[in-house]
Amino acid sequence: MPDSIVITGIGIITPLSASPHAVLDRIARGDCAAAAPEDFSTEAFACPHCARVQGFRPQDHIREPKLARLMNRDAQFAVAAARPAREDAKLTVGETYLPETIAVYGAAGMAGLPLTEVLPLLRASVSDTGEFDPARFGREGLRTVNPLLSFKILGNMPLCFVSICENLRGPNAIYTPWEGQGARAIEAGVEALLAGDAECALVGGCDVKTHELAFLGLQHEGCFRSWTETGAGPVPGEGAAFLLLETEARAHARGARIHACLDAFAFRTRRPADTTAEICAALWQGLNLRGPLAAVVAAANGTPALEQAEQQALADHGIRPTVTLAPKKHTGDLFAGAATLQLALAAVLAARGEGRVLAHCLGHGSEQAAFLLSPP
C-alpha cells in the first residue's frame, strides 16, 4: 500500500467476552458458547444450537434510554462495540479528528427481529384458512405495529445509530448481509484513508442470528446443509466488532498505540465450481503471501468439509503457522460481523510481536476475503 494502514482501536461484543484478549484465552482453553436456545424450539431447524451474549444490558452502553428503545439488538451491539474501539484508540471526536473527517463503514445482517415483535402483525394479516391476506395486512395488520418498529428493521440503522452516538459525520456506507460484505466494509475504510477522503475510519459489523426468523432465513439460504448431511455445522451467533483504522503517519503523529499493520487484503468472488482450495490459492496470490506466519485465524466454523479443505490447502502450500485458531467454532458465526471479529483477533495476535498473521474471511455468500497483518 502507498501509505501503511494500521489498526489503533478494537472493540468487540461476543458470546465469549467483550475483551479480545479474553476471547483468545477462552478459545485456547477450548470454551464454546454454543447452547440450545431457551426461548424457542429448534425442532423445525437442522441446527440445534446458537451462541448468545449473556448478561448484555443496553443501558450500560447507550446513554439515552429513549434511543436504546429505537434499536434492535443488532444496533445495540454495534453501539456497544463501536465506542470501545474509539476509546481504545484514545480518540476524542472533535479534538483528535473533526467529526466530518471520520468515516464509518459497516456491515449488518438481515432478519433483525425476533418473532415475538412481529407476531401480532402476522396474526392479524392471515385469512381464516391461515394464508397471508394482503387486504387484512393493510386493514388490520399494520394497525398492530408500533411505528417505531421501522427503526428496527432497516438494515442501515445499526450504523446510523453508531454515527449518532459517536458523532461521526464523515463518508459512510452500509454493506449486507454476509461475511464477505463485512470484509468489503473494511476495504472501504482503507480506500477512504488512502484516497484522502477521511482522516480515520471506524469499520465493523454486527449481526444477531439467535432467534427464530434468523434461523428460518439461514435454513432457507442453505447455511444449515452441513447439519443435515453430517450432524455438524455453523452455530449462529450474535455480537459486533469494530476497528479504528488510520494511516501509520497519522497514528505516529498523534502518538497512538498501534495494534497491527494491515499489509494486504484480497477478495475472490466465489463461482459455483470453486473449491475451498482454489479460493484460498487465489486469495493468497492476491496477498502475495510469502514467508513464515506466526498465526492463522481460520475460517472453520464447525462445517467438517470446510475445516478439512482449509487445513489441507494450508498444508499443500507449505503454510505451517505456529498457531491456528478458528474463532467461529467457539464464539458462534457472526456472519455480517464475522470478518471484523476475525481481523480484530488477528490484530491482537500480531500485537504480540511474534510475526505476521493471516485472517481468512470465508463464509456464506459469494464474496470471500483474506487479510494479512504484521506486528507494529
pLDDT, residue 149, reads 82
Pairwise CA distance, residues 302 & 324, whole Å: 15
Cell 487445513 belongs to residue:
311
pLDDT, residue 139, reads 92
For the chain, percent of residues with pLDDT exceeding 70: 99
Q: Is there a contact between 16 and 90 (Cβ–Cβ < 8 Å)?
A: no
DSSP string, 177-189: SSHHHHHHHHHHH
What mean pLDDT do residues 151-173 have? Answer: 94
> Which of 84-93, 109-118, 235-244, 315-324 is the least confident region?
109-118
If we measure between CA atoms, which residue out of 351, 294, 303 comes closest to residue 325? 294
**pTM of this prediction exceeds 0.75:** yes
pLDDT, residue 2, reads 62
What mean pLDDT do residues 105-125 have? Answer: 87
pLDDT, residue 318, reads 95
Domains and CATH numbers, the chain: 5-114+149-253 (3.40.47.10), 115-148 (no CATH), 263-374 (3.40.47.10)
> Which of 28-37, 139-148, 261-270, 289-298 is the least confident region?
139-148
Mean residue pLDDT across the chain: 96
Decide: helix, strand or coil at residue 70.
Answer: coil
pLDDT (tens digit per residue) in 231-290:
999 999 999 999 999 999 999 999 999 999 999 999 999 999 999 999 999 999 999 999
pLDDT, residue 80, reads 98
Residue 111 has pLDDT above 80, yes or no: no
pLDDT (tens digit per residue) in 64-96:
888 998 999 999 999 999 999 999 999 999 999
pLDDT, residue 234, reads 98
pLDDT (tens digit per residue) in 48-58:
999 999 999 99
Could you write out the three-class secondary structure of 211-255?
A: CHHHHHHHHHHCCCHHHHHHCCCCCEEEEEEEEEEEEHHHHHHCC
pLDDT, residue 65, reads 86
Pairwise CA distance, residues 34 & 336, whole Å: 18
Predicted confidence band of residue 194 (pLDDT cuts 50, 70, 90):
very high
Could you write out the three-class secondary structure of 9-58?
A: EEEEECCCCCCHHHHHHHHHHCCCCEECCCCCCCCCCCCCCEECCCCCCH
Q: Is there a contact between 202 and 168 (Cβ–Cβ < 8 Å)?
A: yes
Decide: helix, strand or coil at residue 263.
Answer: strand
**Neighbouring C-alpha atoms within 13 Å toward the C-beta of 207:** 35
152, exposed or middle or buried, with CB in 10 Å at 0-12, 13-18, 19+? buried
Gyration radius from the chain CA atoms:
21
The cell for 42 is: 429448534
What are the backbone angles phi and psi of residue 303, rounded to the nearest 5°? -80, 115
